[in-house]
Structures are given as structure tokens and as C-alpha cells.
Structure 1
């Protein structure tokens, strides 16, 4: 069995409200075990014999059916989450600047983000082909050009963004 993290996009924002208990029950209906939700923002850890792609497909289908929205998720195994957290070049705890990790289910979309960031001289650090680390001033995340870029329709299908501290908590849950 492989330990996985499932990251939902757009949960508890924009009118899509999913309670953690309802999310947990929905994922528990899949061929998985050890389901745990974290931080009421669409983070789930579990174990499964499915591949990451199979778990992504089944998760999205179940979420769409249960909650009636265009569910999109990024599924990463524990080793990948560990690598992303370890390789992030920015600190998790800076009082003035937040560190974010945008997770990708499509490497081509990551390439587009890197090109865009370069065009506006915004520092972005790719972490393999599945994540990019970037920063935004505290209180300025929603105004960040990178945040706006990843909220474009083409990106919504292939990305989700989390604070580095959230990824650290997900990693701890995967390792527990």
C-alpha cells in the first residue's frame, strides 16, 4: 500500500463548502484506508493500492457526485510530499512573507507558470515537475500576480496551492 496526500482545489472558497467529516466519509468510500482530513481546507491523507492517477480519477468522480461541483485534485505519494517540503528553498515561518507551494497534475502548466514568473521578475523555484515554490507578502496573497495567474481557468484543472506550513503538517500526517 502507498501513502497518499489528496489536495482538493477550491474547497471552502467561492461557494464550495465541504465539511471535513463529509470529505472524510466520501474518501473512505473509495478503495483506501487510514483516511484523515487536515485543516478543513481540502487536505486528505490515506493509503491505497491504487496508483496516484487512479486515486485522482476516483476522488474527483466521488467528489463531483457527492458535492455537485467540478472537483479537481492533485494526488501525491508520501515520498513526493517529503521531497517537495525538503527541497523548498524558502522558510516556512517568516513574519512578513508567506511561502506557497503550487502543486501541479500537469507539468506543462508548471512550465507556463515559470515563464510567466520570469516575465514579471517574480522569483519562483520549480521543485521537480510537480511543484513550484513562491512567496507573497503577508496580507498580499490575493493580490499576488502569481496567485491570479494560477486562478486562470486553464490552471484550475491542474493546480492547487498550499502554504508551506500546511504541506509540513500533511507530511507529518503521512509519516504518522
Structure 2
């Protein structure tokens, strides 16, 4: 019996900016890989699945499957179940707040996240916290997400292949989509 790990896969930039991927078609494309239990959440490219592949191999195979099936230059971030839980637990911001939105920017490249961190320093309009080498939590006033320094920075082409952002509510839904853990 092979070791099976559970992962969340976050697609960058689908169903915005002209790249349309139906979640049923996404499930079908990924089900052709050596994975099980492919579950999609929302229409923004969030997937939970299990596989015997390691995270880097899964990332490579998912990106190629997306390129083949949908004809776009696909990039994904892959986190295992424990990494998702750890980021949520480390986030100091509320998932729901009357005046702000809480986000987590994920990166497959710690150096890119360092560069984003430096590029958005000192502005004072967003609150932000580094959660790990590959994740930064930030929040901004409701209604100003696209105008926030972090949102503007992550939209730059040089970060396209290495970052994606989700609101904290979405990460909570992803965490809830993992199958229940076996009792100890």
C-alpha cells in the first residue's frame, strides 16, 4: 500500500481575466492523474484531493494537465492538509469582519514572497503578517481590495507564476473539504 497524502491545490487566475475553467471539467482533467477524491470548491480554482505523489510532483503534473486540457499557461500552489491548517491557525485576522477582508497570499517561491513583502512595506493602508516562508496574511478595508498595496503588487506579471491569493473564508472552506481524519 502506498503512502497517500491529502492536498489542497490552488489555481492562479482562473475564471478571471479571460481564463474560464468549469469546475466539472477541472475535476475531469485532474481525475486522469494518479489522484483520488477530487473535490472542487467555489469557482475560483480550489481543489482538495489525495495522492501518493509528493507535493512538487503533484504541482508539475497538475500544471501540465491544466495546460493540456484548457490551453493556458497554468500555475498552481500545492499545500498539504497540515499546511492549510497551520496557516489558518496562524492567521491573526478574523474570517468575517464588518469592516475588513482578510486574505492569505500563497507562494511557491519564498523569494517572491519576500519581494512582495518588501514592495508593500511602510504603506500603512493594509495590515499584514508573515505566516510562513510561503504565506502572508493581510487585510484591508471592505471595498478597497483591488486598490490595496498587496493586491496591486500580486497583480504584477512577475508574480503570476508564483503567487495566488484567497480570502480566509475560502481557506476555511478548503480545510472543511478534507475528509475527516481517522480517530487516533
1:18 aligns with 2:21: yes
Of residues 6, 10, 16 in structure 2, which corresponds to 1:7? 10
User: 2:59 maps to which residue?
Assistant: 56
1:152 aligns with 2:156: yes
Of residues 104, 108, 113 in structure 1, which corresponds to 2:107? 104
Aligned residue for 1:44, secondary structure, equals strand
Further displaced range: 122-131 or 42-51: 122-131
1:135 aligns with 2:152: no
**Residue deviations 1:6-61, cap 9 Å, x none?**
00000100000111100110111111001000011100000001111000000000
User: 1:72 maps to which residue?
Assistant: 75
C-alpha distance in 1 between matches for 2:78 and 2:114: 19
TM-score under structure 2 length normalisation? 0.93
User: Is the Cα contact below 8 Å between 1:5 and 1:75 reproduced in 2?
Assistant: yes
Further displaced range: 25-34 or 119-128: 119-128
C-alpha distance in 2 between matches for 1:174 and 1:140: 31
C-alpha distance in 1 between matches for 2:67 and 2:51: 20
Structure 1 unmatched runs, 5+:
none
Deviation at 1:175, TM superposition (A): 4.1
Aligned residue for 2:24, secondary structure, equals helix
User: Is the Cα contact below 8 Å between 2:66 and 2:72 reproduced in 1?
Assistant: yes
Deviation at 1:123, TM superposition (A): 2.7
Structure 1 runs of 4+ with >6 Å offset: none
Aligned residue for 2:93, secondary structure, equals coil
Number of aligned residue pairs: give it: 176
Aligned residue for 2:147, secondary structure, equals coil
User: Is the Cα contact below 8 Å between 2:95 and 2:168 reproduced in 1?
Assistant: yes
User: 1:29 maps to which residue?
Assistant: 32
Aligned residue for 1:142, secondary structure, equals helix
Of residues 83, 86, 89 in structure 2, which corresponds to 1:83? 86
C-alpha distance in 1 between matches for 2:127 and 2:119: 10
User: 1:161 maps to which residue?
Assistant: 165
